[in-house]
Amino acid sequence: MPLLSVLIFFPVLGGLSLLFLERKAETVRLVALVVSLFELLFVLPIFFLFDKGTHQMQFREQYDWISALNINYALGIDGISVLFVLLTALITVLCVLVSWESIQEKAKEFYMALLVLEGAMVGVFCALDFFLFYVFWEAMLIPMFLIIGVWGGPNRLYATIKFFLYTLVGSLLMLVGIILLYLAAGRSFDILFLAGQAYPFKLQVLVFWLFFAAFAVKVPMWPVHTWLPDAHTEAPTAGSVILAGVLIKMGAYGFLRFSLPILPQATQAMLTPMLVLSVIAIVYGALVCLAQTDMKRLVAYSSVSHMGFVTLGLFALNQQGLEGSILQMINHGLVTGALFLAIGMVYDRTHTREIAAYGGLANIMPLFAGFFMVFTLAAVGLPGTNGFIGEWLILLGAFRAQPLYAVIAATGLILGAWYMLWLYQRIFFGGVNEGLRQLAPLNLREILTLAPLVLLIFWIGVYPDALLDFLRVSVGHLVEQVHGAGLAEAGRTALMAIP
Amino acid sequence: MIEQLVVLNPAAFSWGMITPVLPELVLLAIGVALIVLDLFAPRQRQLLPWMTVLGVSAVLLVNLGMYTPAEPGAMLRNDAYSAFFCTLCLASVILAALMREFYSTQVQSHQGEFYSLLVFSAVGMMIMVASVDLITIYLGLELMALPIYVLTGMHKKDLRTSEAAAKYFLMGVFASAFLLFGMSLLFGLTGTTNVAEIGAYIGRNNLADNASLVMALALLIAGLCFKVAVVPFHMWTPDVYEGAPTVLTAFMSVGPKAAGFAVFGRIMLAVFPELHANWGPVLALLAVLTMLVGNITALVQSSLKRMLAYSAIAHAGYALLGIAAGSASGMAAAMSYLFIYLFMNMGAFAILIIFSQGVEQGESIDSCRGMASRNPVLALCMLIFMFSLTGIPPTGGFTGKFYLFQSAVAAGYTAAVIAAVLLSAMSAFFYLRVIRLMYMSGPEQQPAITAPSVGMLVVLGIAVAGVLATGLVPGALFDWAQRAMLP
């Protein structure tokens, strides 16, 4: 059974089928929920049938698509992509749930866009043909553009155009890079084949920077991060969650899947600028967080900082760094997604995101305060939560590779604790703001939205091997690809040293 | 020379001689029949568009089924190349006739001469795309252009259309003079007007460094660039496109332009392959300039029609990149792109015609405001066309551009391609503005839109299906274009 194709096209078709429904939010959202739940159900076989002992692509599918240009429809997942597919399916369900009440206008179009987006996102993680990957990568722009632009906040037009243009410029430059690789490799878009070829160093460097344009914008790395705060802030809650949860992971995924294995020499040569940019993002993002007055904007800038950790681990180019980086992407997706969900819930009640408008919320919504506490601590990286494992692995890897950067990055953790706890203090403690007295407690739907995230946060925090087992072999193979066989041996010994 | 004039001798005439031009002759007869009907059955004028559509479709089928083997010395050739472009041009005629039918009902006036002139112009395009001789190329070009000059100025009470017609005519004649001058130089150098023979002669005699040949090349490029509206020979385009009746603008930006590209490709690849090192970089530079001017100027337009006019200029730049590559694959990419452009541009113009409700001038971009609430289906169509013009998958605009960029990079024009992708990102800004107005601004008090007629629905259906099909499964189109480029 072509499982991955089902995962891609089921939500797309489900989304398009909404076209034929009546124009009532109640019906539409129910269908959307059912579709996204079924998608989550279809993902389960992957979770259980995935063979963790090999770095080979699994669940492969391959058909001719455009033979004139040797383009195939090729799908498959390995340890690096499998978790993202799972994450996408989970996050989409939560997005449908959180939009339940807040999206009333043009609900049909909204859920259509959301489900089509889900299909495209799964496609990005499954594609094994570079052209196919690019199609999914760009196709995501359309629904996301609409989600921010139609259902977003007051400044949504500015934010959505900015988001679209930044991403488009990056993607199109990547397209040129793809074409250069395609021609250099003798007209092939097969990602696995491309990774096995040797390219001249100059071409590698050129392509590396062309890819960098696309991936760095998506991550987002400093200094091309400026679209993110606007897009995050103006997007509706579901949009922010998707952006933080899945979309920005694609940049780092792109580095992992393309830049590292296909352009190993260029990656090695460009390490210093990449690490410097990562560290700047960590510290700069954290410092900017301290100055924010808008909750969503604060969390958005904290994403810049956290994604700095992800790229730092990535360009440490060793087993721990890469594992930590991938795990941290999942963690960040869950935790930041959770924070946006929580902020969305309180925003639905108060219609303000100004931190100053809150205070003493713990007295009014105690359960909500509890949830938010868990998410805050996970974002800070408290041991026992998933955030700790990811950051710890990244710092370990970075320290082995480049101690100086690891030390600077570690200051980001301190700043992170500062801005997150300070945010928590300003919202939940202190005198109760009079405007908040009438707020309703969390309803069952909202609790059901947040509860799975709390479970996952602790589950990964206590037993990270549940996810790390998926990655280990594939990451080991990736390290080999980047360093060549000799260094990989060292990587594997280092791996054994990890408790 | 003398034996070629034998056709003028009635005694030597045989019916076999005219078989290659049979489709053209049939089309000519249809054009005349349309005039006769228009004159003698004025009450049945609403049937004229449908007859045009039927007649042109029939000719298209006949032409596709007809393949005449290449004869030495033949002036016309029905090969795969001409079949491809013929389909493209006649399809634009059919779509234009259908759009005109809707427009006529909108303004309650049927003008019969529109259709006959359109058909005459189509005859010219057919001759152009099938020509392998400088004489017939020029003949076809003029036959195509003259009816369009008239059509441009058809709304004679409107000052702007008259201005557009006068401008177009003067500029067109000017360009033709360039072409003729270039052609005469070629003839003087090589002693033949046959395209393939000229190319062979140049190759045989190592004329590549000959100064007058380079002069001829420059003149031909200038003349052809006028015809396909490439910067810096584009000055006439925005005014003419804006002044002309909208249906005609849609037609002009696709059909005649494609025919122009057919000639452009034929001349560049058949006559001047030896000089590719000379004209390749020049065309690549012109292509980038065209995109630059087209996209930047489109940014600031407040009229939807004018914006589409400038976007048409920019898209000519993309297609030119394929010719600049100087390879069969580059030309195939340009051909595929022109075909995809037919769908997306005709579609966008169709929506523009519906939105502007019969008001011919000054279709402000604001007419799109709140369209998603007023008419979701039309808004969705326009959304698809705009994303396709921007070049976002899964639409044809993306696959077409991809193919173009791929062949241009393969030919070594990486810098030009990088410029092209950046400019195409810039174009997103004004295409998205339409979407933004449709989906993200509240509707104003505006009169209800006239429901699209059957003809218009057919146009929209073809355009949407074409854009999506070429976006999802472009293989068939690419294969067809590649086959057309095989010698």
CA distance A384 to A391: 12
CA distance A380 to A414: 8
Nearest alpha-carbon partner for B423 in B298, B326, B338, B339: B298
Query: Average pLDDT, whole number, for chain B?
Result: 85
Question: Is 50 exceeded by the pLDDT of residue A498?
Answer: no
Average pLDDT value for residue range B427-445:
81
pLDDT for residue B251 = 92
Predicted model pTM = 0.88
pLDDT for residue B444 = 63
Beta bridge partners of A73: A63
CA distance B110 to B100: 9
| Residue type at position A354 | E
**Between these two residues, A167 and A356, which has the higher pLDDT value?**
A167
Q: Assign B358 a pLDDT band (cuts: 50, 70, 90).
A: low
Q: Are B439 and A176 a contacting pair at CB < 8 A?
A: no
Question: Is 70 exceeded by the pLDDT of residue A168?
Answer: yes
pLDDT for residue B137 = 92
Q: Tell me how crowded residue B469 is: count the other CB atoms within 10 A of its CB.
A: 15
Q: Determine, yes or no, domain membership for B198.
A: no
Domain that holds residue B372: 277-487
Q: Are A138 and B402 a contacting pair at CB < 8 A?
A: no
Q: Are B422 and A134 a contacting pair at CB < 8 A?
A: no
Picking from B403, B422, B432, the nearest residue to A164 by CB comes out as B432
Average pLDDT value for residue range A408-414:
88
Q: Determine, yes or no, domain membership for B467.
A: yes
Chain A positions contacting chain B at CB under 8 Å are: 65-69, 106, 109, 131, 134-136, 138-139, 141-142, 145-146, 149-150, 156-157, 160-161, 164-165, 168-169, 172-173, 175-176, 179-180, 182-183
Q: How far is A125 from chain B (nearest CA, A)?
A: 17
Nearest alpha-carbon partner for B394 in B298, B333, B470: B470
- The residues, ordered by sequence, that sit 6+ positions from B382 with a Cβ below 8 Å of its Cβ are B348, B351, B368, B371, B434, B435, B438
Looking at chain B, the whole-number percentage of residues with pLDDT higher than 70 is: 92
Q: How far is CA B36 from the centre of its chain?
A: 28
Q: Assign A185 a pLDDT band (cuts: 50, 70, 90).
A: confident
Q: Determine, yes or no, domain membership for B486.
A: yes
Cα Rg of chain B, angstroms: 22
pLDDT for residue B1 = 43
Question: Is 70 exceeded by the pLDDT of residue B68?
Answer: no
Beta bridge partners of A321: none
Question: Is 60 exceeded by the pLDDT of residue A494?
Answer: no
Q: Determine, yes or no, domain membership for B264.
A: no
Question: Is 80 exceeded by the pLDDT of residue A83?
Answer: yes
**Between these two residues, A356 and B385, which has the higher pLDDT value?**
B385
Average pLDDT value for residue range B277-285:
88
Give whole-number Cα distances, A190 to A175, A196, B401, in Å: 15, 10, 20
Question: Is 50 exceeded by the pLDDT of residue A326?
Answer: yes
Q: Determine, yes or no, domain membership for B397.
A: yes
Chain A to chain B, count of Cβ pairs less than 8 Å apart? Answer: 88
**Burial letters for B92-109: b for 16+ Cβ neighbours within 10 Å, e otherwise?**
bbbbbbbbbbbbbbbeee
pLDDT for residue A136 = 92
pLDDT for residue B258 = 92
Average pLDDT value for residue range B214-222:
90
Q: Determine, yes or no, domain membership for B355.
A: yes
- Per residue in B93-116, pLDDT tens? 999 999 888 888 777 676 778 888
Query: Chain B partners of A68 at a C-beta cutoff of 8 Å?
Result: 475, 478-479, 482
Nearest alpha-carbon partner for A69 in B409, B478, B298: B478
Q: Which of A249-253, B231-235, B329-333, B443-447 bottoms out in mean pLDDT, i.e. has the lowest? A: B443-447
- Per residue in A473-492, pLDDT tens? 888 888 888 887 444 444 44
Residue A385 has φ and ψ, to the nearest 5°, of -105, 165
Beta bridge partners of A383: A385
Q: How many domains does chain B have?
A: 1
Looking at chain A, the whole-number percentage of residues with pLDDT higher than 70 is: 97
Q: Tell me how crowded residue A101 is: count the other CB atoms within 10 A of its CB.
A: 14
pLDDT for residue B182 = 92
Average pLDDT value for residue range B179-183:
92
Q: Are B393 and A134 a contacting pair at CB < 8 A?
A: yes
Picking from B414, B417, B439, the nearest residue to A150 by CB comes out as B439
Nearest alpha-carbon partner for B308 in B225, B255, B249: B249
Q: Determine, yes or no, domain membership for B353.
A: yes
Q: Determine, yes or no, domain membership for B452.
A: yes
Q: Are A142 and B432 a contacting pair at CB < 8 A?
A: no
Q: Tell me how crowded residue A48 is: count the other CB atoms within 10 A of its CB.
A: 6
Q: Are B421 and A145 a contacting pair at CB < 8 A?
A: no
Please give, one letter per residue, the 3-state secondary structure of chain A.
Answer: CCHHHHHHHHHHHHHHHHHHCCCCHHHHHHHHHHHHHHHHHHHHHHHHHCCCCCCCCEEEEEEEEEHHHCEEEEEEECHHHHHHHHHHHHHHHHHHHHHHHHCCCCHHHHHHHHHHHHHHHHHHHHECEHHHHHHHHHHCHHHHHHHHHHHCCCCHHHHHHHHHHHHHHHHHHHHHHHHHHHHHCCCCCEHHHHHCCCCCHHHHHHHHHHHHHHHHHHCCCCCCCCHHHHHHHHCCHHHHHHHHHHHCHHHHHHHHHHHHHHCHHHHHHCHHHHHHHHHHHHHHHHHHHHCCCEHHHHHHHHHHHHHHHHHHHHHHCCHHHHHHHHHHHHHHHHHHHHHHHHHHHHHHHHCCCEHHHCCCHHHHCHHHHHHHHHHHHHHHCCECEHHHHHHHHHHHHHHHHCHHHHHHHHHHHHHHHHHHHHHHHHHHCCCCCHHHCCCCCCCHHHHHHHHHHHHHHHHHHHCCHHHHHHHHHHHHHHHHHHHCHHHHHHHHHHHHHCC
Q: Assign A471 a pLDDT band (cuts: 50, 70, 90).
A: confident
